[in-house]
């Protein structure tokens, strides 16, 4: 379990404090906080609390959402990303995951340009704060309003376009990228710059009842998680396997039992 | 309206005969039949009836579903595709749309191989019958159990791999491919071999409530339909714009009113 990390959204009915206590008690290695975990709290204290219980703070979810139809909207996004960088710095989270954003009705081409511009604008702040930014390609079914970055190739291209700065890389989530015919190749391409910063796991259920909140537990779907994970590790990646599962079904369970199921499923993938 | 075609599934509560009568009365130019339209009927007579009312028979939906975990299953798929080719021949439909298939738990790599093998196996039958086969790339959200062919690039690659035979091409549906960063380029690549055989339109709604049956009417979503359509026409494509909309919402409407809405929406895209 030393490389198992859980995203707090996976057990979203637990408070920040309960996530920390329960994950630590379950011998989970790392925790990825979501920004709602910090609301009304001292981010530095939250990070300290997690580390004192033995948990690594893996990342902060999520920055991004750069595109907007108005200059004012784009400026608000930059301001919010800078706040997110401050929070990650206080939390001592080494990484922010970027869900890049998209605006229904604005061309994907324009949104993609605004995303690259937005990342370029906040990158100096991230570098100054010692916080990495990980572009998360999102499944094409989210291209309307969540992210115009939908493939590993696009994420690699943005990193290249911005000169492949050390603090900019990719957060790869199997749910979003498993279908891609050039997935293996694009994962391999991350190796030279060591730009694969994070690896998220869950599964794709057949049928999937909801576009957002019906992700599967590892092993109950069709994603070749172990194979993709091995490709990722072959790039030199030694980080956590982060369980990030949005699921109305599992959120309605007793969250302690749910965490036990996650550990069991994780153990079966990584025997 | 001379290039407007409607798929019978779009008005699925109408019988085969009612679709023909209503589309013709509405001055729709073409009709694409689904195989259920032919059940218990003489395909040749259905085709004749449609043409007598002034409708072009544009295509038959759908063949494909080649992959299977067993050799027996793959043979059954070939048999069924051959029956589909016979039906299209009797109907005098010039084209069969292929939804290529996928098997949850079988690797996409294996399914993709089985798809190319399956198409190669039935292609001689299609050629003998004078029926074209159009590979329809399906949205990546259907990679689990509907199609392992999820991009225009893959469809182009299969055509190339099989020697680019004249009777094999692509059915492009905006719903499945609109998000693709290399869409324009891949559409352009179809020009040399004139392999773009069909063009399907609808829209992507935000939010989308159901992965299968919540497609939008042209203009109510975020797909740049006219732009993609212009790219398609620039390849030399002169065929129909086929309206194929699966929608629990619109299926629950009075289907006559629904057809009027389709015509109105079509007219706004193609002013």
Set of chain A residues whose Cβ sits within 8 Å of the Cβ of B154: 181
- For B211-253, the pLDDT digits (tens) are 999 999 999 999 999 999 999 999 999 999 999 999 999 999 9
Q: Which residues pair with A203 in a beta bridge?
A: A216
Distance CA A115, CA A107 (A): 12
Q: A143–B105: do the CB atoms touch at under 8 Å?
A: no
Residue B153 neighbours by CB under 8 Å, 6+ apart: A181, B182, B186
* B27-30 contacts at long range (C-beta below 8 A, 24 or more positions apart): B27/B1, B28/B1, B28/B4, B28/B55, B28/B259, B28/B263, B29/B1, B29/B2, B29/B3, B29/B4, B29/B5, B29/B55, B29/B56, B29/B240, B30/B3, B30/B4, B30/B5, B30/B6, B30/B55, B30/B56, B30/B57, B30/B58, B30/B240, B30/B242
Taking the C-alpha atoms of residue B41 and residue B90, their distance in angstroms, rounded to an integer, is: 11
Q: Using CB atoms, which residue from A112, A141, A151 is nearest to B141?
A: A141
- Between CA A99 and CA A149 the distance in angstroms is 8
Q: CB contact, 8 Å: A140 with chain B?
A: yes
Cβ-defined contact of A208 to B211 (cutoff 8 Å):
yes
**Is A64 within 8 Å of A83 (Cβ atoms)?**
no
Strand A168-173 to strand A196-201: parallel, antiparallel, or no bridges (unpaired)? parallel
Judged against a pLDDT cut of 90, whether residue B131 lies above it is answered with yes
Q: What's the alpha-carbon Rg for chain B, to the nearest Å?
A: 17
Burial (Cβ within 10 Å: 0-12, 13-18, ≥19) of residue B207: exposed
- Which residues, 6 or more positions from A219, have their beta carbon under 8 angstroms from its beta carbon? A203, A225, A265, A268, A269
Q: How far apart are CA B48 and CA A24, in angstroms?
A: 72
Domain that holds residue B181: 4-269
Radius of gyration in angstroms for the set of CA atoms belonging to chain A, rounded to a whole number = 17
Residue A177 has pLDDT above 90, yes or no: yes
User: What's the number of domains chain A is made of?
Assistant: 1
**What percentage of chain A carries pLDDT values higher than 70?**
100
Point out the residue among B141, B144, B204 whose CB comes nearest to the CB of A222.
B144
Mean pLDDT of A56-79: 98
Q: What is the rounded CA–CA span in Å between residue B261 and residue B240?
A: 18
B205-234 residues touching A, CB cutoff 8 A: 206-208, 211, 221-222, 224
Q: B163: left (phi > 0), else alpha (psi -120 to 50), else beta?
A: left
pLDDT in tens, B6-65: 999 999 999 999 999 999 999 999 999 999 999 999 999 999 999 999 999 999 999 999
Nearest-CA residue of chain B relative to A102?
A: B222
Per the listing, tokens 């604008």 go with A121
Identify the burial level of A198 via C-beta atoms within 10 angstroms of its C-beta, where 0-12 means exposed, 13-18 middle and 19 or more buried. buried
Please say if the pLDDT value at position A45 is more than 90.
yes
- Whether the complex's predicted ipTM surpasses the cut of 0.95: yes
E strands, chain A, in order: 4-7, 30-34, 56-64, 95-99, 132-135, 168-173, 196-201, 241-243
Q: Are A66 and A100 in contact (CB under 8 A)?
A: yes
**B107: which chain A residues are within 8 Å (Cβ-Cβ)?**
224
pLDDT band at A1 (very low <50, low <70, confident <90, very high): confident
> What's the whole-number average pLDDT of chain B?
98
Tokens representing residue A55 in the block: 């948990």
Instruction: Give B70→chain A minimum CA distance, Å.
Output: 18
Contact B144 A108 (CB under 8 A): no
Does residue B165 sit in helix, strand or coil?
coil
Contacts of A181 in chain B (CB under 8 A): 108, 112, 150-151, 153-154
Interface touch B145/A206, C-beta < 8 Å: yes
Mean pLDDT of B84-112: 98
Q: Is the pLDDT of residue B113 over 90?
A: yes
CATH code of residue B213: 3.20.20.150
Contact B104 A222 (CB under 8 A): yes
Q: Is A7 helix (H, G, I), strand (E, B) or coil?
A: strand
**List of chain B residues whose C-beta atoms are within 8 Å of the C-beta of residue A185:** none
Yes or no, beta carbons of A104 and B222 under 8 Å apart: yes
Q: Indicate yes or no: CB of A211 within 8 angstroms of CB of B207.
A: yes
* Predicted local distance difference test score (pLDDT) of residue B1: 85
Question: Is residue A69 less than 8 Å (CB to CB) from chain B?
Answer: no
Angstrom distance (rounded) from CA B261 to CA B253:
11
Q: How many residues does chain B have?
A: 271
A108 closest CB neighbour out of B104, B150, B179: B179
* A-interface mutation test, from B155, B181, B218, most A Cβ less than 10 A away: B181
Question: Which residues have C-beta within 8 Å of that of residue A91, sequence separation ≥ 6?
Answer: A33, A38, A43, A44, A46, A47, A57, A60
Which residue from B150, B180, B221 is facing A179, i.e. has the nearest CB? Answer: B150
Q: Chains A, B: CB contacts under 8 A, how many?
A: 67
How far apart CA B100 and CA B116 sit, in angstroms, is 9
- Is A67 within 8 Å of chain B by CB? no
Average pLDDT over residues B159-174: 96
Each residue's pLDDT tens digit, A93-139: 999 999 999 999 999 999 999 999 999 999 999 999 999 999 999 99
Mind telling me how many Å the CA of B112 is from chain A's nearest CA?
9
């Amino acid at each position: 379990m030393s490389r198992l990390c859980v995203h707090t959204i996976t057990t979203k009915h637990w408070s920040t404090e309960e996530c920390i206590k329960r994950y630590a008690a379950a011998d989970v290695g790392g925790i990825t906080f979501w920004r709602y975990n910090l609301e009304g709290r001292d981010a530095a204290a939250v990070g300290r609390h997690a580390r004192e219980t033995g948990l690594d703070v893996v990342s902060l979810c999520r920055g991004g959402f750069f595109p907007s139809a108005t200059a004012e909207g784009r400026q608000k996004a930059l301001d919010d990303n800078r706040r997110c960088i401050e929070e990650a710095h206080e939390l001592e989270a080494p990484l922010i995951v970027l869900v890049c954003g998209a605006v229904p009705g604005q061309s994907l081409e324009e949104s993609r340009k605004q995303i690259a511009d937005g990342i370029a604008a906040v990158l100096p702040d991230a570098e100054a704060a010692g916080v990495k930014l990980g572009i998360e390609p999102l499944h094409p079914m989210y291209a309307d309003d969540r992210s115009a970055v939908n493939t590993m190739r696009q994420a690699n291209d943005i990193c290249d376009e911005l000169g492949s700065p050390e603090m900019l890389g990719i957060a790869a989530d199997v749910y979003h990228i498993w279908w891609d015919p050039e997935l293996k190749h694009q994962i391999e391409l991350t190796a030279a710059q060591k730009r694969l910063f994070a690896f998220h796991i869950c599964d794709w259920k057949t049928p999937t009842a909801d576009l957002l909140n019906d992700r599967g537990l590892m092993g109950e779907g069709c994603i070749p998680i172990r194979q993709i994970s091995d490709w990722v590790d072959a790039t030199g990646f030694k980080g956590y396997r982060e369980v990030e599962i949005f699921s109305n079904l599992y959120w309605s369970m007793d969250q302690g039992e749910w965490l036990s199921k996650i550990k069991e499923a994780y153990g079966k993938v990584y025997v």
